Amino acid sequence: MMWKVIKGRVVYKTPLGWVLSHFQDTSLTMLSLPAEELEPIVASFPAGSLPEREMGILAGWLEAFFARRPQELPLEIAPAGTEFSQKVWEATRLIPYGQTRSYSWIAEKLGSPRAQRAVGGALRRNPLPLVIPCHRVIRADGALGGFGGSEPQKLKIKEKLLAWEVSP
């Protein structure tokens, strides 16, 4: 998978749409959800540094992810967030490809079994979807739950990502 730079933004074409990345020096700090239309996300996504080596590593990781051959991302990630959010994101990274866990599972992992809403809030602010796979977190009853503010198009992306991971 190749990348290109459009208006100072690093853009990747994936089977589910365009993904943009943001690097601060050589650390990955933001990643967009896949979007079908490129222009709206380019306009709303910040420009960052353009570390060619890291851009290529991320391209290879995205290619493996969408080829259903998940692997560890060998890049430094630096998502900005509170201490609680960082813990939620670390726990979320433990969810295996193609599997789901509940908001309460993450809350229990953190030793705060009643913090499901706080977990949801931290995941809503996740700056690195796919790397921190918040799409794999669902409600305890099996429903999708919220995603990126529960906007209908973002729930569709969550549904597509989960379907992609479990389909042959």
Q: How far apart are CA 58 and CA 56, in angstroms?
A: 5
- Selecting among 130, 134, 137, 138, the annotated active-site residue is 134
d(CA 161, CA 118): 23
The alpha-helical segments, DSSP class H, found in the chain are: 38-44, 52-66, 83-92, 103-109, 116-124, 152-166
Per the annotation, the verdict on 134 as an active-site residue is: yes
Report the SS3 class of residue 163: helix
Contacts of 72 (CB under 8 A, 6+ apart): none
Distance of alpha carbon 25 from alpha carbon 48, whole angstroms: 8
**Are the C-beta atoms of 131 and 31 separated by less than 8 Å?**
yes
Active-site residue set = 134
